[in-house]
Structure 1
Amino acid sequence: MASNPGITQKKITIQNKYNEKLVGILHETGSPDIVVLCHGFLCTKNDRIMVSLAAALEAEGISAFRFDFAGNGESEGVFMVCCQRQAEDLRCVVQHFVGQNRKIAAILGHSKGGSVVLLYASMYHDVHTLVNVSGCFDFLGGLTEEFMERIKKDGFVDVRNAQGKVVYRFLELCLTNALLNPNMHDACCEIDKACRVLTIHGSNDEVNPIGGAFEFDQAIPNHKLHIVEGADHFYTSQWNLSELVSTAISFIKQDLQQN
């Protein structure tokens, strides 16, 4: 339970279109507005950024829902490197809360989750406030020459964690399949002009280089860019994390204050 007696945190499950259970934590403040939070690649709903944002939204009296995509964390399904599948998961989450007469005030994603949020907005046009935190503009741009040679030779590359355990397999198919490697420029151009989009990106992002943030700024019709100076991809510094959170919350509140 949250420390504020007027706020509850409840684990709920939502079924996606493949009959898999998506598990999430609803931070219920009693407001009709709700913000959906989407984690990044190989992360979960309990990622530090997701938890920090949910807590800040609580403090503003805004409900939040952070959940695990299929194949991640507590959710059912097999892990897949596929943005479109995750955009479909997000669609099921949005429809679940709309069916409960809730208003989706915003959807926010970090890293790959940021790209998923933008892809969602290019496919559907029912959420009008988006926050893309350190999203990836070019999914293949960061691959090394050695990586490309290995995948062309073997047809796949196994990615391992610090303990040497294989955490996922990157297939050669990922290089050519639009479902796995979406064209983010084209997707961004399909976002409704009435949709307000904020991109937050760290100047020292070592995972998704900052150049992608400027590409988003050029491609998205109604866009604002905020660079967090000195921040890495995971906003490791508490100072950088605080700037990320306050910037995102301020942007989300603008629409709520006008309505």
Structure 2
Amino acid sequence: MEIQHQTVFLAFGGFAMRTFKRILGLSLLTLGLFTMGAGMGAAQSQEVAIDGDHGKLSAVIQRPAGKTEYPLVIIMHGFMANKERPLLTKLADDLEKDGIASIRFDFNGQGQSEGRFQDMTVVNEIEDAKAVYAYARKLPGVTSIALAGHSQGGVVASMTAGELGTQKVKALVLMAPAAVLREDAIRGQIFGVHYDPLNPPEIIDVRDHKVGAAYVKTAQTLPIYETASQYQGPAYMIHGTGDVIAPYTYSLRYQRIYFNGKVHLIDGEDHTFSHDTDGAAKDAADFFKEILK
């Protein structure tokens, strides 16, 4: 992610300025702050490691400028992805501008997190998400927590919200939620790779990744909508009608299980919102701004 730095002009004398630079440099190295936020009113971005289901999870916290209290959104990436995807970083930046903090993180075995991709399942990604939620609740200044997820991350976000319950999750955004993953596992296919669904191999090679049999077996019986429906707070689904990976009808089904659910269908947009990534991110951020502030 390209970090936007703010230049701060201070009226220091020569010696004081040199001292200031030395202190600032040390702070950046030891605290992992990528913006000059501490005590200066600028936004803060901080890298942290969170204990997850299969080891340490790499995460980035973004906090809005000039605020000591704020709502926070946990942002979840999709299958074979990571927290630095443009859609997710843009969402975090838009939330920050709206006075909302965020944590985006890599699930186990992906991005910079520990673990093996072949051990990843939707079930242990839900455990990762709940670990990040527990971490976020302990952060000073956090007034409420919402969840957002793209693709498989949308499925994980929806099921995590269901397991945590309406009282603990303030709002939910699902971006192209890939609830198709259960049907794909039953049919024996994943990203164009076919296998015997009744006897899946221990390892399935998919686009330079190794998918484990446990992923398939757990996906085949995953109670996606049954679990997700236990959450009944504000929910917003964003989906492109041109999505051939996870058709938009899966968002329509989510809408049917949520009493407070709305769907925005984007004509012709694909699974990654590549035609207007910024627009999709802003759409999600605007929903959170309306609900959380």
| Match in the other structure for 2:196 | 151
1:54-81 Cα distance to aligned partner (Å, 9 max, x none) = 1111222222211111111111112234
Alignment partner for residue 170 of structure 2, among 118, 123, 128? 128
Alignment partner for residue 107 of structure 2, among 69, 72, 87? 69
* AA partner of residue 155 (structure 1): P
Measured at CA, do residues 255 and 155 of structure 1 come closer, stay the same or move farther in structure 2, by a change above 3 Å?
A: closer
Q: TM-score scaled by structure 1?
A: 0.85
Q: TM-score scaled by structure 2?
A: 0.76
| Match in the other structure for 1:38 | 76
- 8 A Cα contact 2:70 2:99, kept in partner: no
- 8 A Cα contact 2:243 2:271, kept in partner: yes
- Comparing 151-160 with 243-252, greater Cα deviation is found at 151-160
Alignment partner for residue 85 of structure 2, among 47, 54, 58? 47
Measured at CA, do residues 78 and 61 of structure 1 come closer, stay the same or move farther in structure 2, by a change above 3 Å?
A: same
| Match in the other structure for 1:187 | 227
- 8 A Cα contact 2:186 2:197, kept in partner: no
Report 1:137-216 matches (<5 A).
Answer: 137-142=179-184, 147=189, 150-152=195-197, 155-156=200-201, 158-161=204-207, 165=208, 167-171=209-213, 174-177=215-218, 181-191=221-231, 193=232, 195-216=233-254
| Match in the other structure for 1:221 | 259
1:92 aligned onto 2:131: yes
| Match in the other structure for 2:13 | none
Partner SS for 2:180: coil
Measured at CA, do residues 153 and 214 of structure 1 come closer, stay the same or move farther in structure 2, by a change above 3 Å?
A: closer
- 8 A Cα contact 2:237 2:263, kept in partner: yes
1:109 aligned onto 2:145: no
Q: In 2, Cα distance between the equivalents of 1:12 and 1:199?
A: 29
Q: What is the root-mean-square deviation of aligned Cα atoms in Å?
A: 2.4
Measured at CA, do residues 89 and 146 of structure 1 come closer, stay the same or move farther in structure 2, by a change above 3 Å?
A: closer
Q: In 2, Cα distance between the equivalents of 1:256 and 1:35?
A: 10
Q: Please report how far the alpha carbon of residue 170 of structure 1 lies from its aligned counterpart in structure 2 after TM superposition.
A: 4.8
Q: Report the count of equivalent residues.
A: 246
Partner SS for 2:183: coil
1:243 aligned onto 2:273: no
Q: Please report how far the alpha carbon of residue 146 of structure 1 lies from its aligned counterpart in structure 2 after TM superposition.
A: 7.4
Q: In 2, Cα distance between the equivalents of 1:248 and 1:45?
A: 16
* AA partner of residue 111 (structure 1): S
| Match in the other structure for 1:2 | 4
- 8 A Cα contact 1:189 1:221, kept in partner: no
1:189-240 Cα distance to aligned partner (Å, 9 max, x none) = 222x3x1111111110111011111111112232111111111001111xx2
* AA partner of residue 94 (structure 1): Y
| Match in the other structure for 2:57 | 22
Partner SS for 1:200: strand
Q: In 2, Cα distance between the equivalents of 1:218 and 1:45?
A: 29
- 8 A Cα contact 2:47 2:58, kept in partner: yes
* AA partner of residue 209 (structure 1): P
* AA partner of residue 2 (structure 1): Q
Q: In 2, Cα distance between the equivalents of 1:48 and 1:250?
A: 17
- Comparing 22-31 with 149-158, greater Cα deviation is found at 149-158
Q: Please report how far the alpha carbon of residue 159 of structure 1 lies from its aligned counterpart in structure 2 after TM superposition.
A: 3.0
